């Protein structure tokens, strides 16, 4: 699969490509995002959980834990919601918990402060602080920090890749290989076009900061596996983001796969995590299982 040709010199076209909510009818967008919340509420009601744990005293941000079936500490999927860094919450982020906990994998759904109230640098710091909390305190909640995997959709895909990136771990007191694998879904990995787009109304990025916050320019360690997914019905710009990131990872010697999911758009592809028979969920189970048994 090759990159799509898009003229990003045209600001109007740039905005059209990244105005992803317009890629589906509003009723579809509303119904799909409501599904996130409904399935999460079902999981909270039906599964063993530990809710509203403060992982970062500096910001007061909290996370929810859905406990994986089985005894002893369990492998962890940390899930980071999307919403262009300005919408949604952990209340929309546990929709896959039934599928994953049935496989013995605990799910941690994380909140982060939203733009424009905080900077994107602060959002990245908070996600990394959640990982540090799992490393420091996870065992008390049945979480195995040595089997930590990260996923997220859209803006959460960007944050997933920033969590997997090398170079920040020592500052947070975590092992360099803390993230064993990453599953970014419909993510944004090169933010350099965004200062010219409508998203800068809330991101307020300049070109140097956009580069500093671009996972494309800050790759993981070679041991971290990265499996990228996006919907076939997304815009060319979003498809290109995953394709280019995958190419760059492979050039850096990192095991990476890129999968376009047929029949899915930007908002429903992530719901495949809730279907244990889907390609996306099976990939997660298989990769997490390799670390578990390896």
Q: List, for residues 133-168, the tens digit of each pLDDT value.
A: 999 999 999 999 999 999 999 999 999 999 999 999
Structure-block tokens of residue 242: 């995953």
Residue 7 confidence (pLDDT) above 80: no
Other beta carbons within 10 angstroms of residue 170's beta carbon come to 9
Query: Which superfamily is assigned to 62-293 in CATH?
Result: Alpha/Beta hydrolase fold, catalytic domain (3.40.50.1820)
8 A C-beta contact, residue 67 and residue 44: no
Domain boundaries along the sequence of the chain? 62-293
Express each pLDDT in 30-83 by its tens digit. Answer: 999 999 999 999 999 999 999 999 999 999 999 999 999 999 999 999 999 999
Q: Give 238's Cβ-side CA count (13 Å radius).
A: 31
Q: pLDDT digit string (tens) for 212-266?
A: 999 999 999 999 999 999 999 999 999 999 999 999 999 999 999 999 999 999 9
Q: How far is CA 88 from CA 40, 62, 100, 114, in A?
A: 12, 14, 21, 9
pLDDT at 291 over 70: no
In angstroms, what CA-CA distances link 164 with 19, 161, 207? 26, 5, 22
What are the structure tokens assigned to 166, written together?
Answer: 């090398």
pLDDT band at 10 (very low <50, low <70, confident <90, very high): confident
pLDDT per residue as tens digits for the range 179-209? 999 999 999 999 999 999 999 999 999 999 9
In three-state form (DSSP H/G/I as H, E/B as E, the rest C), the secondary structure along 81-110 is: CCCCCCCCCHHHCCCCHHHHHHCCCEEEEE
């Amino acid at each position: 699969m090759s990159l799509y040709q898009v003229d990003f010199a045209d600001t109007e076209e740039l905005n059209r490509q990244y105005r992803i909510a317009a890629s589906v009818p509003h009723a579809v967008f509303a119904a799909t995002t409501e599904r996130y919340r409904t399935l999460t509420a079902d999981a909270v009601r039906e599964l063993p959980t530990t809710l509203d744990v403060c992982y970062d005293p500096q910001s007061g941000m909290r996370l929810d834990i859905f406990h994986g079936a089985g005894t002893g500490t369990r492998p962890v999927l940390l899930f980071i919601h999307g919403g262009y860094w300005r919408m949604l919450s952990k209340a929309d982020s546990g929709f896959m918990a039934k599928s994953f906990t049935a496989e013995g994998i605990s799910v941690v759904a994380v909140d982060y402060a939203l733009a424009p109230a905080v900077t994107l640098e602060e959002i990245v710091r908070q996600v990394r602080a959640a990982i540090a909390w799992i490393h420091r305190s996870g065992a008390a909640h049945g979480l195995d920090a040595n089997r930590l995997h990260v996923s997220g959709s859209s803006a959460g895909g960007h944050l997933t890749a920033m969590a997997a990136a090398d170079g920040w771990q020592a500052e947070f007191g975590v092992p360099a290989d803390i993230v064993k694998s990453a599953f970014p879904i419909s993510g944004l990995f090169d933010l350099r076009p965004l200062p010219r787009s409508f998203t800068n109304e809330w991101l307020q990025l300049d070109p140097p900061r956009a580069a500093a916050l671009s996972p494309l320019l800050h790759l993981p360690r070679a041991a971290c596996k990265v499996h990228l997914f996006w919907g076939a019905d997304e815009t060319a710009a979003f498809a290109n983001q995953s394709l280019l990131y995958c190419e760059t990872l492979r050039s850096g010697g990192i095991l990476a796969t890129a999968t376009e999911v047929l029949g899915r758009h930007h908002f429903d592809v992530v719901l495949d995590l809730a279907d244990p028979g889907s390609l996306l969920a099976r990939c997660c189970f298989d990769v997490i299982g390799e670390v578990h048994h390896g």
